[in-house]
Structure formats: C-alpha cells, structure tokens
Structure 1
Amino acid sequence: MNLKISGHHLDVTPALRDYVTSKLDRVLRHFDQVIETAVLLTVDNHREKEKRQKAEINLHLKGKDIFVETCDEDMYAAIDLLIDKLDRQVLRYKDKLQGYAHHAIKHQGDAMSPTLNEQPAV
C-alpha cells in the first residue's frame, strides 16, 4: 500500500503522521486490498475567531475509490471522525463485494437435503 500524507497550511509533524498511520491500521485490518491512500490535512483560517481543521482521505481499493472528508475544531478529532466514516464505508463495500446473497454451491446442496426430523414422502 502506498501512503501519502500531506498538509495544506499545516506542517505534518511526525506525531501527526504516526497518529494517522495507527488509525489507518484499523481500516486495513478489515480490508487488506488497499492499493493507494492519500490523506490531506488542511487548516482554514477564513474566520478569525475559529480555525477549522479539515481532514480528507482518498482510498484506492481494488475495484473502487472511496473519498471521505470531515471538519472539526481539533485536528485529532477530525482524524478520528474521518477514520470512523472510512471504516463504515470500507465495511459496506466489503459486504457488497462478498455478496452474501450468493451462497457457495457446496452449501446449496445442504439446504435441499431433508433434515433428520423430516420423513421423505412415500
């Protein structure tokens, strides 16, 4: 997996980089077919009273791209929200990819065979 962490109006410190990579491990635990990850951390200073911290991630999976963005007053809180949203989307994609509606052929034969309590029709 290629991981790119960049900052816009923000210096990406080693502590911030380690925090993002440790949180991304949670997503990789659920789905290991990640090709490339691009994380963008941004600080908007448009309003003088409050600074808005924004975190974006673009996750390139096998067969799909997932984009998530969140905003908060604290960068670490924005990263936590970002990973929560990303984890939900990755799990949803994984469930859709596995397709539980289509069971394996070896299990379809078990469903058709009579159980022990049922007597075959004579």
Structure 2
Amino acid sequence: MNLKISGHHLDITPALREYVINKLDRVIRHFDQVIDVSVLLSVDNHKEKERRQKADITVHLKGKEIFVESCDENMYAAIDMLIDKLDRQVIRHKTKLQGHAHEAIKHQEHQELPAEPLQ
C-alpha cells in the first residue's frame, strides 16, 4: 500500500502523521486490497474568527476509487470523522464484492425435465 500524507497551509507533524496512520489501520483491517491512499489535510482561513480544518482522503482499491472528506474546527476530530466515513464505505464496498445475490448454479435444486416419448 502506498501512503501519501500532505498538507495545505499546514505542516504535517510526526504526531499528526502517526495519528493518521494508526486510524488507517482500522480500515485496512476490514479490507486489505488497498493499492494507494492519499490524505490531504488543510486549513482554510476564510474568516478571521473561524478556522476550518479539512481532511480529504482518496483510497484506490482494485476496481474502485473512494473519496471522502470531512471538516471540523479541530483537525483530530476531522480525521476521526473522515476515518468513520471511510470505514463505512469500505465495508459497504466489501459486502458488495462478497454479496451472493443469486445462489450458485451448483447449489440450486435440479429440476427434472419430463422425458420425451421415444418414437
């Protein structure tokens, strides 16, 4: 798995990097076929009194790409919400892959066809 953590208007401290990695372990525990993960942590200062912390993640899986974002006043809370959303989406994707909507042909009951009269 390739992991890229970057910041926009924010320095990525070792503590923040370690926090993201520890949280991502939960997602990988559910689904281990992750190819790439790209995390973007940013701070938007639109208004002087309001600082908005934003966390985005893009996870590239085999055959699918999942994008999740979350915002909060606290970066750690934004990361927690982000991982919760990502975990739900990964579990939903995993159940779709493993879903058995139709029973396999070998497990279906065989219906006997009436014998055709010999001529």
Q: Is the pair's TM-score, using the shorter chain for normalization, greater than 0.5?
A: yes
Q: Which residue matches 1:39? A: 39
Q: Which residue matches 2:76? A: 76
Q: Which residue matches 1:61? A: 61
Secondary structure at the counterpart of residue 70 of structure 2? strand
Deviations 1:43-98 (A, max 9, x none): 00111111000000000001100000000000000000000000000000000011
Rounded to whole Å, the distance in 1 between the matches of 2:13 and 2:102 is 47
- Structure 2 unaligned regions, length at least 5: 110-119
Instruction: Using the TM superposition, give the Cα deviation of residue 102 of structure 1 relative to its aligned residue in structure 2, in angstroms.
Output: 3.4
Instruction: Using the TM superposition, give the Cα deviation of residue 100 of structure 1 relative to its aligned residue in structure 2, in angstroms.
Output: 2.5
Structure 1 residue runs of 4 or more that deviate by more than 3 Å after TM superposition? 102-106
Residues paired across the two proteins, number: 110
Larger Rg: 2
The letter of the residue matching 2:64 is K
Check 1:100–1:55 CA distance in 2 against 1; reply closer, same or farther (3 A cut). same
- Determine what percentage of the aligned residue pairs are the same residue: 76
Rounded to whole Å, the distance in 2 between the matches of 1:11 and 1:104 is 53
- Structure 1 unaligned regions, length at least 5: 113-122
TM-score, L = length of structure 1 = 0.85
The letter of the residue matching 1:69 is E
TM-score, L = length of structure 2 = 0.87
